[in-house]
Structure 1
Amino acid sequence: MPLYKTITPNSETIVKIWKITESFDDLMQMVNLKPKSLERVLSMKSELHQRGFLSVRCLLKAFGYEDVDLHYDENGKPYLNDGKYISITHSFNFSAVIISDTIIGIDIEKQRDKITVIAHKFIDYEFNYLDKNASDYINKLTLIWCIKESLYKLFATPGLSFIQHCLVIPVSDNEQETVAWIDYEEKKQRYNIQFLEFEGFTCAYAIA
């Protein structure tokens, strides 16, 4: 079982990361899927997505849950039978699940140069402190994307804009946490962000 890492940000929250090394068939043998989930995974055209989907169910088992305990609301936000909060992500050969007693969101992304092409679509204020010539520019862009995606998952409100409503405070060198804000209509909320980098990937999670 390639459980890559377990993190405990606080007494109410646990993050588990899975490195996907198994084949589709091996992963299928490791999980018990409800009929709806089985139909969904078999309809996926990409084996990479299939393995990501199944690895998330393996992570659920590592938490003590089964696929039958996981559901999605009308906005696509996952929730658990027991009322605990959950957020899910996967990118290429890594997946992660965060479960907490408080509202949370998580995202993993591979660090790739192509993120510079779409940076203008999710960054505004943050350009004020980013250095395009810095050696870690790609990493910083990827981190900001991960943070805003985790906020989007946490907030789960149609119409939320990465540029207009999500604000990421600069991260100091050698730090693995920062603060982000959502300013949406009448709601203004501050979130604590923690993050890590590994094997060319970035993972960030937001905690209310």
Structure 2
Amino acid sequence: MPLYKTLTSNSQTTVKIWKITESYEDLLEPLDLKPNSLERVLGMKSEMHQRGFLSVRHLLREFGYTDQDLFYDDNGKPHLKDGKHISITHSFIFSGVIISDVEVGIDIEKQRDKIAIIAKKFVDYEFNYISKNDEDYIKKLTVIWGIKESLYKLFATPGMLFKAHFIVIPFMLNDGKTVAWIDYENKKYRYNTHFLEFEGFTCAFATP
């Protein structure tokens, strides 16, 4: 089984990352899916999305859970029946799951030049410390996007905007962590965020 990485940011929080090398059939065969989960995966038009969906269920098994333990609320946020907090991500050949005693969010993104085209849509304050002339501009943008996506998943509140409501404090790529803030409806929330790179991808996750 290609469990790619296991990260423990603290005693309450564990991240597991899966590298998707198996076929759709090999991923599906050992799983016991709920009827609505099976309906979802069969209805997906892309085999890449099918394999991503199924690899997440294998990650659940690595944590000791099954598909039956997972459910989603009206905002699309995943939950576990035992009350632990969970966040899920999938990007191309990687998927990731974070489980914690506290609210968490996770995101995996492929590092691609086209992120620079949309930077103005999700970056504001952060332009104070990153520049198009930076050697690692694309990687830094990917970290910022991943952190903000993680915060969005954690908070799961419709109406939040990456550019207006999320702030990522200056960081160096080799730091592997920084602080981020949500400034929303006259309230401020502080989060610890972590990030790492592997095989042209960036993973970011956030905890209170």
TM-score range, shorter chain: over 0.9
For this pair of structures, how many residues does the alignment match?
Answer: 208
What corresponds to 1:202 in structure 2? 202
CA contact (8 A) 2:140 2:173 kept: no
Query: Which residue of the partner structure matches residue 87 of structure 2?
Result: 87
**What is the CA distance between 1:123 and its match in structure 2?**
0.5
Distance, in Å, in 2 between the alignment partners of 1:187 and 1:30 is: 46
**Equivalent residue number for residue 153 of structure 1:** 153
In the alignment, structure 2 segments of 5+ residues that lack a partner are none
Letter in 2 for 1:87: S
Determine the structure 2 residue equivalent to 1:69. 69
User: Could you tell me whether the CA contact under 8 Å between 2:86 and 2:100 is conserved in 1?
Assistant: yes
Q: Deviation digits for residues 70-103 of structure 1, max 9, x if unmatched?
A: 0000110000000000000000000000000000
Letter of the 1:124 partner, please give it: D
Matched, 1:24 2:52: no
User: What is the percentage of aligned positions where both structures have the same residue?
Assistant: 72
Residues 114-134 of structure 1: CA deviation (Å, up to 9, x unaligned): 101111110111111112112
Alignment of 1:12-161 (within 5 A): 12-161=12-161
Q: Distance in 1 between matches of 2:175 and 2:30?
A: 37
How far, CA to CA, are the matches of 2:106 and 2:198 in structure 1? Answer: 15
Secondary structure at the aligned position of 1:131 is classed as coil
4+ residue segments displaced more than 2 Å = none
2:14 & 2:7 partners in 1: Cα distance?
Answer: 6
Distance in 2, matches of 1:146 and 1:91, equals: 12
CA distance, structure 2, for counterparts of residue 120 and residue 39 of structure 1: 38
TM-score (norm 1): 0.99
Task: For residues 133-170 of structure 1, give each alpha carbon's deviation from its aligned partner in whole angstroms, at most 9, with x where no partner exists.
Answer: 12211000000000000000000001001011000001
Does the 8 Å contact 2:102/2:207 carry over to 1? yes
Q: Secondary structure at the match of 1:114?
A: helix
Tell me the amino acid that sits aligned with residue 176 of structure 1.
G
TM-aligned CA distance change 1:20 to 1:177, over 3 Å: same
Question: For residues 171-205 of structure 1, what are the alpha-carbon distances to aligned partners after superposition, in whole Å with 9 as ceiling and x for unaligned?
Answer: 13521000000000032100000110000000000
Measure how far apart 1:32 and its partner are.
1.2
1:47-85 Cα offsets, whole Å, 9 max, x none, are: 000000000000000000000100000110000000000
